[in-house]
Every structure is written in structure tokens, then in C-alpha cells.
Amino acid sequence: MDWRGQTIPLVPLEALMPLSPGALKLGVGQAGAIAPSSGVASVAIVVERPGRPLAIAVDQLLCEQEMVLKPFEAWVPLPPYLSGCTILASGEVVPVLKPEALSPPASLGLNRETTVTSLLPTA
């Protein structure tokens, strides 16, 4: 994917999370999504990594908002890529991912340090 004048890897979120196929059942991208040449609409979240940024393709971007991160109880066993949850105005509890804990496929040769820098449609 082209981002700020450089080509960066575009990895599907499913490839970074140890879930079975179909475990994440989100709708196809709508908010700010465009259809790339493959015909599949997608949105990417770009994370900064030492040496090379990484774009994570997600199904949908609902909104961008400030939130209060609530930690999970210590006795609840959680995967390392969850940092907590937030409660939306609707009352829905939503898990919050920790980008630095997502494991990129070894074939990309990327380390695990990340900082979220932007949300953008893929092109």
C-alpha cells in the first residue's frame, strides 16, 4: 500500500490475531471506505514501527472518538492484545485492542513495537 510516498505492508487484522476464520463477524467497510482494484472494500489503520510502518486492513471503521479505557478485572484471563474496554453512549461494551501486542506474520519480518498514527481508506 502506498502511504506518504512509501510502500508499506498491508496485513488483514485476521492475520494478526489468533482467531479462527469467521470469528470476527464485522460488516464490510463503510465509513470512509473505498474499493481497491480487488473489488473488496477495506479500511486500514497505519501503525508506526521502527524501520517500517504497517497498515492493518480492517472490515469497518465506525467512528473516531475519545474514550475512557476501563481495565479488565485481574482475575479475567485475556489475550495480550486487549488493553481494556470502553462503554459507548449506547451502553455497548467494546474491547480495545493494543496494537503493540498484535503479532505480525513472521514472513513480514517486522518487529512488534508499534504506535498508531492514522486511520485511512486503502487505495
Output the CA torsion 79→109→60→23 (10° steps). -40
Query: Which parts of the chain sit beneath pLDDT 50?
Result: 23-37, 39, 41, 112-123
- At 81 the pLDDT is 81
At residue 114, the pLDDT reads 45
Residues 6+ apart with CB under 8 A from 105: 11, 15, 16
How confident is the model at residue 25, as a pLDDT? 46
The pLDDT score that the predictor gives to residue 121 is: 47
Three-class DSSP category at 97: strand
Q: What is the pLDDT of residue 105?
A: 58
pLDDT per residue as tens digits for the range 86-96: 888 888 888 88
Delimit the domains of the chain by residue range: 2-64+100-121
Q: What pLDDT does residue 20 have?
A: 53
- Quick one: pLDDT at residue 39? 47
Pairing of strands 2-3, 6-7: antiparallel
**Model confidence, pTM:** 0.56
